[in-house]
Amino acid sequence: MQQQNEKNEIPFNGEFEDSEEESDEVSEEDSEDDSLQNKRKRKRRQLVNNNKRLIMNVSDTQYAAVKFVGKILNKFKLQYTPYQETQVWDFCWTDNAVLPETLARMQSHQRINHFPGMYCIARKNYLGKNLNKMAKQFPSEFDFYPKTWMLPSDISDLRQYIGKIKYFIVKPEASCQGRGIFLTKQIESIASEHCVVQRYLHKPLLIDGLKFDFRMYVLLAGCDPLRIYLFKEGLARFATQPYQQPNQMNAEEMCMHLTNYAINKDNPNFVFNTDEKQLDIGHKRSLSSVFKLLSQQTNIDELMAKIKDLIIKTFCSVQPFLQSNYTQPDNYANNMCFEILGFDILIDNTYKPYLLEVNHTPSFTADTPLDALIKKNLIRDTITLMNINLKVKNELQQLQKEQMQKRVFGKKLKLSNEEKKSLKIQAQIEREQYESQHLGNFEKIYPCDKSYDEYLQHAQKIYEEWTGANIRRNIKKDNFTERDKLTQQRQIQHSITIQGSVDSNNKQQVDPAKSSNRKSLYKNVLIKKENKSNFINKVFSNPQKSMTELPQQQPLEQKLQDRDDNEIASEDFQSTSKYQDNIERAKRPPSFYVMKSIKQNQELQLVDFFNYKRISIPETSPQSQPNTQQVLQISQQQQFKSVTQLARKFSIRKSNKSKLKSSESDQEAKKDLIQAFNQYSQIQQQQQQSSFFQSQQQNFLNQQPLQNGSFVKPKVFNLKLQPPHFKIPPFPILMQQQNYYKFRYD
């Protein structure tokens, strides 16, 4: 606090001439004369200097207030090299939007004053779209902005309001300073234009007969999770002509209907603020002075609560988008970006606040004492709250060094999701502690006691629908939950299988977790896993008789490779080395899955996942081969025995089933498997006594591993992902339009 008071004492009159960058760098002339040793010395000095002061890049800001606070109040070293061209800065303040790539390139100690993707609320049309989507679900909760239509897409909806709404206010999609705004009743004349149309709030609250609105400064200090602070001071901007409800005579009077400083300051009536001690007069006043005035008429706390609520809801509507643009997911403190946003709020004559607009590059021009005072304090408090200082930088760099060393010594650095989560929580707690003691003139408005989860969840849903992420996520979720459930079951199943088989000496057993991955992709299909030896033992006439030998494996792989509809692809397995996978697979003992359709109860499938063999046998069709008939009988019996507890439900689409049934190659596979059974019968008759383990292992090691290492999903899942009629919506074109704001204004 003491430090802050000291800072306060340094006056700022709105102007600041910086004596250019203090250059430590070696100039070309110097470098010609200099010996190598001198050059090294300079470089070392430069490094030491860099470590003594924080470097603030101000190459892309025009505001004296920013430079003043950086250099004079915080003792930062100002840098003027474009921030995109150098990485030697600790803190960057830019007047323009930043791209996700910029953030992705940043190191953990660097800070920047924008979130990538903030145009999602800073452009009028996107703000309108995002709020409209939320309002559809929560109409009474999202009624804090004037009804908005985006033309030309919303024209038919807008037509329904013609006659019901007296006047509309028409705004360009992405402009500012009141440019291009007009009032109209004639919607048809602009029906094909790209613009934003709003209900004109024709009964605003007036002070001294003048319309006014508030510019409130909001600091978004983190987007995942949201951290929102409201600056207690702001501006009230007044129109310069007495207000009348719009009519044909006055609809074009901009100084009556618009409160923009840029429009009204040129009106001869405009009264400028001249003294920082007199903030309650003129056409631009301090927010607090107007609140004081209003407190005589209404309950200011209630009004403030409504304003805070609308601010939080606005952020909730775009939180998932901001999070997806935050390309530093391992920044557990969630603090590499921050942003000061200007919320424009109009109060109507019932004291209901309306959000008109959000500015992500509010003006920091300090052309009056009022502006200079508010903006200097705002920037100063922001830097303090964001904890941008040398100590933090050094700590982070030290941490980085340690991690690097660990990496060099081969220590495990990859964190589990649980570990990441707890690190994140820890970082949030630390932030909470620090920020609560360094609020300055800020008030934390989110997180707060009230829960906004339902809005956040709905926004997430909207976002996923928009990007198609819900489809991908659902599939992944299916896989994961099935996998989790199965992992446990696999283990029990596996032990039972091993117990009942002659395979107990075989050390190369199936990894239950891995095998469950594969199975989890089938749904609504009853699956029983049997060790091949055990399975065949049961299949053939004398299930009690111990297995002594296995039939020669049929080389079905070659045929199955051509089977398009049998190809199983997996996201989970794509990343693993196919070659390694094949070797591993060849070493594993054989396993069968007997899958039976539950929905239609029409077919039985025998699948050897390790060897990519599968046959589908229609249950209804009579089987000529006695062996196959037995397979069916026994597997059906097994469903009702103890093995049933091992069964899992999976779904497989009807379309896929019919495809599989009709597939020719399926017939081939069936023939092959039946042939294998027949062979086995013969072998059994001959009663050869060669070693089961040797032959089994040899057989599998001899097999050619499949060329196609991808595994897991039957094609139906690919179809589910991208059916012919389905198109993942393209990423919005707005991603490319980051630098649309060239003008800043109050």
Give residues in contact with ligand ADP (CB under 6 A): 146, 169, 171, 175-179, 181, 198, 200-201, 213, 258-260, 344, 346, 356-357
Instruction: Report in angstroms how near the CB of residue 45 gets to ligand ADP at its nearest.
Output: 48
> Helix 664-686 to helix 654-662 angle, to the nearest 10 degrees?
70
Q: Give CA–CA dist 284/372, Å, rounded.
A: 13
**In terms of DSSP bridges, do strands 603-608 and 339-347 run parallel, antiparallel, or are they unpaired?**
unpaired
**Closer residue to ligand ADP in complex, CB, 12/168:** 168
Instruction: Report in angstroms how near the CB of residue 131 gets to ligand ADP at its nearest.
Output: 13
**Closer residue to ligand ADP in complex, CB, 162/415:** 162
Q: List helix spans (H) across 529-596.
A: 532-539, 557-561, 571-574, 578-587
**Closer residue to ligand ADP in complex, CB, 146/551:** 146
**Closer residue to ligand ADP in complex, CB, 322/345:** 345
Instruction: Report in angstroms how near the CB of residue 201 gets to ligand ADP at its nearest.
Output: 4
**Closer residue to ligand ADP in complex, CB, 146/234:** 146
**Closer residue to ligand ADP in complex, CB, 148/628:** 148
Instruction: Report in angstroms how near the CB of residue 358 gets to ligand ADP at its nearest.
Output: 9
Phi, psi of 713, deg, nearest 5:
-95, 135
Instruction: Report in angstroms how near the CB of residue 577 gets to ligand ADP at its nearest.
Output: 55
Residue 189 is given by DSSP the state G
Q: Which of 311, 184, 187, 303 minimizes the C-alpha distance to 248?
A: 184
Contact 212, 237 (CB under 8 A): yes
The three-state secondary structure class of 708 is coil
Do you know the residue count of the chain? 746
**In terms of DSSP bridges, do strands 210-223 and 226-231 run parallel, antiparallel, or are they unpaired?**
antiparallel
Strand partners, 284: 237
Phi, psi of 346, deg, nearest 5:
-110, 140
**Closer residue to ligand ADP in complex, CB, 166/477:** 166
Q: Which of 248, 233, 252 minimizes the C-alpha distance to 178?
A: 252
Q: Give CA–CA dist 459/87, Å, rounded.
A: 35
**Closer residue to ligand ADP in complex, CB, 84/175:** 175
- Indicate the residue type of 609: F
Sign for the CA dihedral angle at 423, 428, 430, 431 comes to positive
The three-state secondary structure class of 492 is helix
**Closer residue to ligand ADP in complex, CB, 112/201:** 201
**Closer residue to ligand ADP in complex, CB, 211/528:** 211
Q: Which of 661, 598, 21, 111 minimizes the C-alpha distance to 339?
A: 111
Instruction: Report in angstroms how near the CB of residue 299 gets to ligand ADP at its nearest.
Output: 23
Q: Give CA–CA dist 368/276, Å, rounded.
A: 8
Q: Give CA–CA dist 483/505, Å, rounded.
A: 27
**Closer residue to ligand ADP in complex, CB, 196/366:** 196
Instruction: Report in angstroms how near the CB of residue 566 gets to ligand ADP at its nearest.
Output: 59
**Closer residue to ligand ADP in complex, CB, 252/402:** 252
Instruction: Report in angstroms how near the CB of residue 214 gets to ligand ADP at its nearest.
Output: 10
Instruction: Report in angstroms how near the CB of residue 141 gets to ligand ADP at its nearest.
Output: 19
Instruction: Report in angstroms how near the CB of residue 306 gets to ligand ADP at its nearest.
Output: 17
Q: Which of 439, 71, 474 minimizes the C-alpha distance to 219?
A: 439
Q: Give CA–CA dist 144/153, Å, rounded.
A: 22
**Closer residue to ligand ADP in complex, CB, 213/608:** 213
Q: Which of 529, 591, 564, 599 minimizes the C-alpha distance to 713?
A: 564
CA distances from 92 to 4, 113, 745 (A): 22, 7, 21
Q: E strands along 507-660, which residues? A: 525-531, 591-597, 603-608, 613-618
Q: Give CA–CA dist 398/415, Å, rounded.
A: 19
Instruction: Report in angstroms how near the CB of residue 346 gets to ligand ADP at its nearest.
Output: 6
Instruction: Report in angstroms how near the CB of residue 175 gets to ligand ADP at its nearest.
Output: 5
Instruction: Report in angstroms how near the CB of residue 207 gets to ligand ADP at its nearest.
Output: 13
> 708 burial class (0-12, 13-18, 19+ CB within 10 angstroms)?
middle
Residue 730 is given by DSSP the state P
Residue 734 is given by DSSP the state G
**Closer residue to ligand ADP in complex, CB, 357/530:** 357
Instruction: Report in angstroms how near the CB of residue 191 gets to ligand ADP at its nearest.
Output: 19
